[in-house]
Amino acid sequence: MKRTGAQIIWESLQREDVEVVFGYPGGAILPAYDAMLDYPIHHVLTRHEQGATHMADGYARASGKVGVAMATSGPGATNMVTGIATAMMDSSPIVCITGQVSSGLVGLDAFQETDVTGITLPITKHNYLVTRVEDIARSIREAFYIAATGRPGPVLLDITKDAQQASYEFDWEASAPRLPGYRPALRALPAEYEKAITLINSAKRPLILAGHGVLQSGAMKVLRDFVEKAQIPVAMTLLGIGCFPATHPLNLGMMGMHGEAWVNHSIQQADLLLAFGTRFDDRVTGNVKTYAPKAKKIHIEIDPSEINKVIKADVALVGDLRDVLEELSPRIAPGDHEEWIDHINEMKGDSAVRDIQNLPDTGHLYAAHVINDLWRHTEGEALICTDVGQHQMWTAQYYKHDKPFRLITSGGLGTMGFGLPSAIGAKMACPDAEVWAIAGDGGFQMTAAELTTAAQENVKVNVAVINNGYLGMVRQWQEFFYSKRYAATPMKSPDFVKLAEAHGLAGLRVTERSQVEGAIRAARETEGTVVIDFRVAKEDSVYPMVPAGADLHEMIRRPRPRIPLAKESDAPEEWEMATK
Amino acid sequence: MSLHTFAAYVEDKPGVLNRVASLFRRRAFNIESLTVGHTEQPGVSRMTIAVEADDLTARRVEAMLYKLVNVLRVDDLTARSTVERDLALIKVAVTPTNRTEVMQLADVFRARIVDVTNESVIVETTGTEDKIEGLIEVLRPFGIIEMARTGIVSMSRGAAGISPNPPLVAAEVREGAPA
Ligand SMILES: Cc1ncc(C[n+]2csc(CCOP(=O)(O)OP(=O)(O)O)c2C)c(N)n1
Ligand SMILES: [Mg+2]
């Protein structure tokens, strides 16, 4: 049947099981928007195209499906750039559709013409400039296929206005992908398995580094079987959180720049590292020259270009992690690493005395307490979307996830403004989930306009603003590395309670620890999105910290707490140790 | 670090050269030379890419090229026995008195004279980069007015063409996977 290009877009999206599109209209995408009214796909009008891409990203990460964002040419498309780069760095499958000026005007600097495929070339897995109506269906099909398979990532389709307006016989069956050069399904070589098994069976101090790839390949169960059989402890990357239960005795927690000391020390002392679906980001390794010097490395990774990129692998198993582990798990010998695990637990003990959660409650409001309380009251079951900064790291440290896909955060790009829109997207993907956005006062303001999107859509997410009056993470770097010269980090904010109210939403303010529980309860019980303004300690820092480029074991440890004591003699003896 | 020569077969579509070039720029790989041309198959172009890289980086270049959706196959020709050719057009300044000398030198290098005026000759030569560099060195004293080179193209010796399903880096294509 003959259809316009605009109709073909929606026909194709329907066939790709798309239920919701996040977008913002404009001239070059108008034909598509006009056709939209005749299709049952729900459109969410965001307040900025960046919001649309983050919502699509949050939707994708929460559901495992492809998220879709739509925008017009020129400024609409360039507003998407941050969200596309965010999705690229975190391998999140989204498809972005942008309108482009009519093909006859391409290259003439027409009104709202931008070379969007050029701009997004290095930040997409693949992109298309579609100038002919007959190419629309196949391009969309290919885009979804590429976005979701292999190592997932964003794909952009820039479709000219005349292609949307022209008509063509729509035939989905005949529009199957033709991608002779695309090989998402790779299989590791048998010889590499043999080498891996030998290394695993003979290791004395092995450690698993579990990354985003575990979640993306759905390898949670087989990872657990593997771990329990081999008795190998697991450290997780920020994006790996949730891939292995936080409460499992073999889970060490997060590694890297703000990983706990015992985790980073374990990496440095290990004799075998098993990197599962992770790419050795510099926030994870610290100085690569001194990284895990005693360890052989087995790298299991779907993307061959990650092998030997940062850390040289002794064994490389290229393939889907779940497939590889399913093959590997039955072939390894049951392990026993009691001595090693005891040693790690000893290191843990030292850190525990420094932990703010284990100190007497003085009533002061610390971000770590807020997040810990949130974790307790939501029973660790909430789907948490964070923004970027100190609160993000505290969330990673103190909101302990036993279940997968419950932490959504911008890891690779570290995009401020990601929290609220990704939470809205996640909530649309999982309407039954309790969704919380945890944002800093800075990042929240970057995309706070999306509150009104939540209001218009009647979407309930709770927003915990960790308000420290600073661009906290940058302030922390200034405190540590720039002699406390706080250039451009002290920040005034609007009244977040009134801001929420201006959007027709509820707002709450918390200034003392005793109010935290009540506010969390009220937010959970209130219909509609709620913003809580948590006025936390202003100059608190995230510990431990590996300074950028330092050796992984060279951490700035938690100091003796700044909490004022009633009497100096109230300090437990261990505190002395903690200050060293 | 040494020179690695890759032959890459790519879909002949708009923007593919840009994708390849952009990859090298983005990843800070050092391109020495890049040539593109048609192949025996319609719709397929062949690029010869010479890169200064150590062995691990060369493997990564190969894997990165494969990641481009329009790249069909990549072969590292470095370790193979290959025929390598570059073509140069060199416009040399001459006078009636030294013109014969230039022509004789070209002859020694089996280069051809393809244009002659009272003030200049154009010398055309094909060969390995070394041979061309040698010719340029002997012509330089006369004064080189202009030079154009194609960059190298390369092909492995012997009857075999390049296999349809090249092995990937430490992996193979899983059976049953969509092409
Ligand atoms: C878009 C963007 N701009 C700048 C930065 C650099 N940056 C990283 S963390 C941070 C501070 C964030 O402050 P806030 O949102 O208040 O969170 P806090 O660290 O105080 O918890 C900044 C400016 C960034 N990551 N993203
Ligand atoms: Mg802040």
Is the pLDDT score of A394 beyond 60? Answer: yes
Which ligand 1 atom is the nearest neighbour of the CA of A367? 21
The CATH number linked to A290 is 3.40.50.1220
- A418 catalytic? Reply is no
Q: Which residues of A touch B66 (CB under 8 A)?
A: 181, 183, 304-305
CB atoms A121 and B171 under 8 Å: no
CB atoms A305 and B168 under 8 Å: no
Q: Which residues of A touch B64 (CB under 8 A)?
A: 305
- A165 catalytic? Reply is no
Q: Which residues of A touch B11 (CB under 8 A)?
A: 180-181
Q: Is B165 a member of any domain?
A: no
Domain total of chain B: 2
Among B60, B72, B171, the residue with its CB nearest the CB of A189 is: B171
Q: Which of A328, A351, A374 is the last residue of a domain?
A: A351
Please choose, from the candidates A325, A314, A374, the residue with its C-alpha nearest in 3D space to the C-alpha of residue A226.
A325
Q: Which of A119, A141, A175 is the last residue of a domain?
A: A175
Asked whether residue B66 falls in the same domain as residue B94, the answer is no
Backbone angles phi, psi at A256, to 5 degrees: 100, -155
Is the pLDDT score of A574 beyond 60? Answer: no
Q: Is A578 a member of any domain?
A: no
Partner residues linked to B2 by β-bridges: B53
- Domain span at A147: 2-175
CB atoms B171 and A177 under 8 Å: no
Please choose, from the candidates A77, A84, A95, A81, the residue with its C-alpha nearest in 3D space to the C-alpha of residue A141.
A95
Please give the distance, rounded to the nearest whole angstrom, from the Cα atom of residue A128 to the centre of ligand 2.
39
- Which residue type is seen at B175? E
Task: Determine the pLDDT at residue A438.
Answer: 98
Q: Which residues of B touch A186 (CB under 8 A)?
A: 168, 171-174
Q: Is A235 a member of any domain?
A: yes
The ligand whose atoms approach the alpha carbon of A388 most closely is 1
Backbone angles phi, psi at A121, to 5 degrees: -55, -50
Asked whether residue B122 falls in the same domain as residue B54, the answer is no
The separation between the first and the last C-alpha atoms of chain B, rounded to the nearest angstrom, is 34
Residue A115 at interface with chain B, using a CB cutoff of 8 Å? no
Residue A540 at interface with chain B, using a CB cutoff of 8 Å? no
* Closest residue in A to B73 (Cα–Cα): A181
In whole angstroms, what is the distance from residue A223 CA to residue A244 CA? Answer: 8
pLDDT digits (tens, 9 = 90+) for A124-167: 999 999 999 999 999 999 999 999 999 999 999 999 999 999 99
Q: Band the pLDDT of A7: cuts 50, 70, 90.
A: very high
Residue A180 at interface with chain B, using a CB cutoff of 8 Å? yes
The separation between the first and the last C-alpha atoms of chain A, rounded to the nearest angstrom, is 76
Among A122, A189, A319, the residue with its CB nearest the CB of B22 is: A122
Q: Is A32 a member of any domain?
A: yes
Asked whether residue A528 falls in the same domain as residue A451, the answer is yes
The ligand whose atoms approach the alpha carbon of A394 most closely is 1
pLDDT digits (tens, 9 = 90+) for A311-348: 999 999 999 999 999 999 999 999 999 999 999 999 88
| Model confidence, pTM | 0.94
Asked whether residue B6 falls in the same domain as residue B75, the answer is yes
Task: Determine the pLDDT at residue B79.
Answer: 84
Task: Determine the pLDDT at residue A558.
Answer: 83
Neighbours of B68 (CB within 10 A): 21
pLDDT digits (tens, 9 = 90+) for B16-29: 999 999 999 999 88
Asked whether residue A347 falls in the same domain as residue A367, the answer is no
Q: Is A549 a member of any domain?
A: no
Neighbours of B178 (CB within 10 A): 13
Q: Which of A301, A324, A351 is the last residue of a domain?
A: A351
Q: Is A121 a member of any domain?
A: yes
Residue B15 · residue A129 · CB < 8 Å: yes
Among B68, B70, B168, the residue with its CB nearest the CB of A186 is: B168
Neighbours of A303 (CB within 10 A): 21
Is the pLDDT score of B179 beyond 70? Answer: no
Catalytic residue among A65, A125, A161, A460: A161
CB atoms A181 and B11 under 8 Å: yes
Please give the distance, rounded to the nearest whole angstrom, from the Cα atom of residue A469 to the centre of ligand 1.
12
Which ligand 1 atom is the nearest neighbour of the CA of A394? 21
Catalytic residue among A11, A49, A142, A306: A49
Among B71, B169, B179, the residue with its CB nearest the CB of A318 is: B169
Backbone angles phi, psi at A302, to 5 degrees: -80, -20
Calculate how close chain A gets to B96, using CA atoms only, in Å. 50
Quickly list H helices, A115-260: 116-120, 136-148, 161-165, 190-202, 212-216, 220-230
Q: Atom 1 (ligand 1): residue with closest C-alpha?
A: A416
- Domain span at B12: 2-79
Residue A189 at interface with chain B, using a CB cutoff of 8 Å? yes
Please give the distance, rounded to the nearest whole angstrom, from the Cα atom of residue A492 to the centre of ligand 2.
10
The CATH number linked to B111 is 3.30.70.1150
Residue A177 at interface with chain B, using a CB cutoff of 8 Å? yes
| Across A42-60, average pLDDT | 98
Q: Which residues of A touch B73 (CB under 8 A)?
A: 181
CB atoms B170 and A188 under 8 Å: yes
Catalytic residue among A14, A19, A112, A231: A112
Q: Band the pLDDT of A363: cuts 50, 70, 90.
A: confident
Residues with CB under 5 A from ligand 2 (ion): A 440-442, 468, 470, 472
Q: Which residues of B touch A309 (CB under 8 A)?
A: 60
Maximum Cα–Cα distance for chain A, whole Å? 84
Residue A319 at interface with chain B, using a CB cutoff of 8 Å? yes
Residue A34 · residue A4 · CB < 8 Å: no
Q: Is B161 a member of any domain?
A: no
Asked whether residue A312 falls in the same domain as residue A386, the answer is no
| Across A41-68, average pLDDT | 98
The CATH number linked to B65 is 3.30.70.260
Strand ranges in chain B using DSSP code E only, listed in sequence order: 2-11, 30-38, 44-53, 71-76, 82-93, 112-116, 120-127, 144-149, 153-156, 171-173
Q: Is B138 a member of any domain?
A: yes
In whole angstroms, what is the distance from residue A497 CA to residue A465 CA? Answer: 10
Domain total of chain A: 3
Q: Is A90 a member of any domain?
A: yes
| Across B47-70, average pLDDT | 93
Residue A224 · residue A236 · CB < 8 Å: no
Asked whether residue A165 falls in the same domain as residue A34, the answer is yes
Backbone angles phi, psi at A273, to 5 degrees: -110, 130
- Tell the burial category of A396 from Cβ atoms under 10 Å away from its Cβ (0-12, 13-18, 19+): buried
List Cβ neighbours of A107 (8 Å cut-off, separation of 6 or more). Answer: none
Is the pLDDT score of B39 beyond 50? Answer: yes
| Across A513-535, average pLDDT | 97
Q: Atom 17 (ligand 1): residue with closest C-alpha?
A: A440
Q: Is B159 a member of any domain?
A: no
Mean pLDDT of chain A: 94
Asked whether residue A370 falls in the same domain as residue A465, the answer is yes
The CATH number linked to A169 is 3.40.50.970
Is the pLDDT score of A352 beyond 80? Answer: no
Q: What is the arrangement of strands in the sheet containing B44-53, beginning at the earlier edge strand?
A: B30-38, B44-53, B2-11, B71-76
Is the pLDDT score of A412 beyond 70? Answer: yes
- Which residues form ligand 1's pocket by a CB distance below 6 Å? A 387-391, 414-417, 440-443, 466, 468, 470-474
Sign of torsion over alpha carbons A208, A212, A215, A217: negative
Task: Determine the pLDDT at residue B164.
Answer: 44
Asked whether residue A107 falls in the same domain as residue A242, the answer is no
CB atoms B170 and A318 under 8 Å: yes
- As a residue count, chain B comes to 179
Q: Supply the DSSP string of A5-29, one letter for each residue.
A: HHHHHHHHHHHTT--EEEE---GGG
Residue B60 · residue B103 · CB < 8 Å: no
Q: Is B69 a member of any domain?
A: yes
Task: Determine the pLDDT at residue B172.
Answer: 57
DSSP state of A151: S
Asked whether residue A225 falls in the same domain as residue A211, the answer is yes
Among all chains, which residue has been given the structure tokens 């309860």?
A521
Return the axis-axis angle of helices A419-429 and A49-63, rounded to nearest 10°: 50
Please give the distance, rounded to the nearest whole angstrom, from the Cα atom of residue A439 to the centre of ligand 1.
10
Q: Is A570 a member of any domain?
A: no
* Closest residue in B to A318 (Cα–Cα): B171
pLDDT digits (tens, 9 = 90+) for A528-569: 999 999 999 999 999 999 999 999 999 998 875 554 444 444
List Cβ neighbours of A180 (8 Å cut-off, separation of 6 or more). Answer: B11, B72, B179
| Across A58-87, average pLDDT | 98
* Cβ pairs bridging A and B (under 8 Å): 86
- A446 catalytic? Reply is no
Q: Which residues of A touch B169 (CB under 8 A)?
A: 304-305, 307, 316, 318
pLDDT digits (tens, 9 = 90+) for B140-173: 999 999 999 998 898 889 887 765 444 444 455 5
Q: Is B19 a member of any domain?
A: yes
Q: Which of B61, B79, B97 is the last residue of a domain?
A: B79
Asked whether residue B114 falls in the same domain as residue B144, the answer is yes
Task: Determine the pLDDT at residue B175.
Answer: 46
Which helix (H) or strand (E) segment holds residue A94: the answer is strand A94-100
Task: Determine the pLDDT at residue A560.
Answer: 58
In whole angstroms, what is the distance from residue A534 CA to residue A367 CA? Answer: 8
Task: Determine the pLDDT at residue B174.
Answer: 52
Among A298, A305, A306, A309, the residue to mutate for chain B (most B Cβ within 10 A)? A305
Residue A107 at interface with chain B, using a CB cutoff of 8 Å? no
Q: Is B7 a member of any domain?
A: yes
Among A117, A181, A317, the residue with its CB nearest the CB of B69 is: A181
Asked whether residue B15 falls in the same domain as residue B70, the answer is yes
Among B11, B60, B64, the residue with its CB nearest the CB of A308 is: B60
Asked whether residue A162 falls in the same domain as residue A252, the answer is no
Q: Is A183 a member of any domain?
A: no
Calculate how close chain A gets to B107, using CA atoms only, in Å. 45
Task: Determine the pLDDT at residue B142.
Answer: 96
